[in-house]
Amino acid sequence: MRAALLVVLGLAIGIIGTVFTMRALSERNPFPEALMVTIGFHRHQLQQAVKGQRCEASANLDQLQRMQMIATDIPAVFADAPQPFKDLTVQLHTALQKAAQSAPADCPALAAALKPVDQVCQQCHQQYR
């Protein structure tokens, strides 16, 4: 009898624990991930441009400027992030600004402009993702 009660109690605690965990997960702020998905989308667009050898200056600049705008939002969206993370967001913004200013007009120029940008993405992901 006592063993059966303990089993029931154990199950109940398990269920309650699961409910709390699921709630915590669903309440997780979706904004940081959404922002990354969006900046990733524009990075992917540029990747497709290089792959298809269709790198027009105005389209390149447009995508880079969008990424730059999104990068501006990272510090506010990842508000609790530590200082080294914030430093990386500044680096990303600077790298994107330089890439946009270089106004890549063909695929090799675009690929070269994206290199320092990708390095910052990678550096932050290695540490914080």
Number of H helices, E strands in the chain: 5, 0
Site for ligand HEC in 107-126 (CB under 6 A): 117, 120-121, 124-125
Let me know if 9 is exposed, middle or buried by CB neighbors in 10 A (0-12, 13-18, 19+): exposed
Among 46, 49, 64, 92, binds ligand HEC (CB under 6 A): 92
CB of 13 to ligand HEC, least distance (A): 29
**Binding of ligand HEC by 83 (CB under 6 A):** no
Q: Which helix (H) or strand (E) holds 12?
A: helix 2-26
Residues in contact with 86: Cβ distance below 8 Å, sequence separation at least 6, in sequence order: 75
**Binding of ligand HEC by 129 (CB under 6 A):** yes
Which of 68, 32, 62 shows the shortest CA–CA distance to 45?
Answer: 62
Among 9, 12, 37, 79, binds ligand HEC (CB under 6 A): 37
In this complex, which beta carbon is closest to ligand HEC, that of residue 15 or of residue 118? 118
Among 60, 63, 68, 89, binds ligand HEC (CB under 6 A): 89
